[in-house]
Each structure stands twice: as C-alpha cells, then as structure tokens.
Amino acid sequence: MTTAPDADRLHARLLAAWNARDAGAMAELFTEVGTLIGFDGSMVQGRDDIRAHLAPIFADHPTPVYVRIVREVREVAGAWLLRADAGLVAPGAAQVIPEVSARQSLLAQPSGDGLAIALFQNTPIALDLDPEGRAAIARELDAVLAREGTLGR
C-alpha cells in the first residue's frame, strides 16, 4: 500500500533527476505510458519519448535547478495527486527566478512495489492579475532555498 509520503518522495526524485540533468532517471519514474506536460505546453507520452525529449534539453542548455514547496498530497481513486510550487535557481544564484516559477501537478499510480508518474504538468506561475501573489510565492521559495537548498545537488 502506498502513502502520501511515497508521492512526496516520488516528486522529490523527479525534481532531483532534473537537477542532475538525468533524462533517463526522470523518464524511469513514469508509467510506461505516462505523460509529461512541460513548462512551454509541450506534451510527451511514454518513457522512451520523455527520455528523448529531455536529453537534448539537458545536453544543449544549462538548466537551472528546482526548489519546491509541496502544497497538497491526497488520494484520488487509488492514485495520489500532489500539487507543488517550484522555483528554478540559476547556477550560482541565491534566489529563484520568479518568471519561471511553476505550479506542478503530479498524478502517481501504484506500480510494482511503489508509485510511478501517470501525469506530470508544469505550469508557469504567471499570476498576471496578482503580481504581489507571484512575488510572495517567490519569497516563500527563496526561504526554502536558503533553509534547505535545492533537491539532489
């Protein structure tokens, strides 16, 4: 039986794999037909395609690393829904980049002896009508960064 902490750990492993720039490790966290919806709206389905999609991103771009705040984890029909706010931190920086902070949703299904990602969506926290709300989230993420650092680095 899986638990809310299992879903939390799965999300942490996903972001740690991003931070390590490891497309294979990220892809392996998904179900065989899992779906990744990227920050830019790109949608990729299946482990092989997720790996193929991420590998050139990591090879060609100095990707920033994640820090996160988990907002909710709840069971939904035998699966786990996790919602988090995540900030990206440029190499050597001490603050998140507010323009690329994201609201993340992860749906995890039981798989083998644990959980696997059925759906992961990464949506910009634009908050066009609430710039102070966006700034407040950035401050929260900066506080987590100062206290805990980034995931997996």
pLDDT digits (tens, 9 = 90+) for 37-81: 999 999 999 999 999 999 999 999 889 999 999 999 999 999 999
Label residue 23 exposed, middle or buried (CB < 10 Å: 0-12, 13-18, 19+): buried
pLDDT class for 150, splitting at 50, 70, 90?
confident
| Domains in the chain, CATH or no CATH each | 4-148 (3.10.450.50)
- Give the model's pLDDT for residue 152: 60
* Percent of the chain at pLDDT exceeding 90: 88
Are 102 and 124 spatial neighbours (Cβ–Cβ below 8 Å)? yes
Q: Give CA–CA dist 43/57, Å, rounded.
A: 14
CA distance 121 to 151: 18
Name the pTM for this structure: 0.94
